[in-house]
Amino acid sequence: MQIGMVGLGKMGANMAERLRRGGHDVVGYDHNTEVSDVASLKELVERLEAPRTVWVMIPAGRPTQQVIDELGRLLDAGDLVVDGGNSHYVDDQKHAAELADKGVGFVDCGVSGGVWGLENGYALMCGGEKADVDRLMPIFETLKPEGEDGFVHAGDVGAGHFAKMVHNGIEYGMMQAFAEGWELLEASDIVKDVKGSFSSWRTGTVIRSWLLDLLVRALDDDEHLDELRGYAEDSGEGRWTVQAAVDHAVPLPVITAALFARFASRQEDPPAMKVVAALRNQFGGHPIAATEGSLGKGADAPGADVRPPREAS
Residues identified as active-site: 164, 171
3-state secondary structure of 128: coil
3-state secondary structure of 157: coil
User: Can you tell me the distance from the alpha carbon of 270 to that of 264, in angstroms, rounded to the nearest whole number?
Assistant: 7
User: Can you tell me the distance from the alpha carbon of 87 to that of 84, in angstroms, rounded to the nearest whole number?
Assistant: 8
Cα torsion through 66, 106, 98, 113, rounded to 10: -40
Return the number of other C-beta atoms located less than 10 Å from residue 85's C-beta: 26
Q: By CB neighbour count within 10 A (0-12 exposed, 13-18 middle, 19+ buried), where does 204 fall?
A: exposed
- 247-268 b/e (C-beta count within 10 Å ≥ 16 → b): eeeeebeebbebbebbeebeee
Distances, alpha carbon 38 to alpha carbons 4, 7, 85, in Å: 10, 12, 21
Residue 193 backbone zone (phi > 0: left; psi -120 to 50: alpha; other: beta)? beta
Q: By CB neighbour count within 10 A (0-12 exposed, 13-18 middle, 19+ buried), where does 309 fall?
A: exposed
Calculate ∠ Cα 53-56-62, nearest 5°.
140
The residues that bridge with 123 in the sheet, in sequence order, are 112
